[in-house]
Amino acid sequence: MSFELKFLPSGQSFQIQQGSEPEGGIGQPGSLLDLALGLGIDIDHACGGVSACSTCHVVVLEGLSSCNEASDSEEDQLDKAPGLTPQSRLACQCIPSGKQNLLVQIPSWNRNLVREGS
């Protein structure tokens, strides 16, 4: 089984094969952060993927219902995230089941280009 993982605003899209997911080695195994880093997509992760910051905040525009529920500690960190939306998640804690394709918006403050330019 596989699903499509697409990132905005770059529009880069990847087919994720379950059982041989890319691994960035940071965040929960199989989380959006783990997958993204394994795919060469940079998402900020100041705390190292342990739900102790909110820099890995992403917005799951499509496929959110196929992801795990946010834990209390994730909710607590998200409350501190700028630009919070009902579809916001911490990329290091959000694990898609693969039952739906995912469309993930990386907020501008999390993008490398923005960070390097500041």
Site residues for ligand FES per CB under 6 A: 45-47, 49, 51-56, 77, 90, 92
In whole angstroms, give the CA distance from residue 83 to residue 107. Answer: 8
Min separation Cβ 79 and ligand FES, Å: 12
**Between 5 and 33, CB nearer to ligand FES:** 33
Determine the 3-state secondary structure of 90 from DSSP: strand
- Residue nearer to ligand FES on the CB measure, 24 or 98: 24
Instruction: From residue 29, give the alpha-carbon distance in Å to each of 11, 36, 118.
Output: 24, 11, 31
Please give the Cα distance from 118 to 113 (Å, whole number): 9
Give the residue with the Cβ less far from ligand FES, 16 or 56: 56
- Mark residue 71 as left, alpha or beta (left: phi above 0; alpha: psi -120 to 50; beta: remaining): beta
Q: Residue 64 CB, nearest distance to ligand FES (Å)?
A: 17
Q: How far is the CB of 81 from ligand FES (least distance, A)?
A: 9
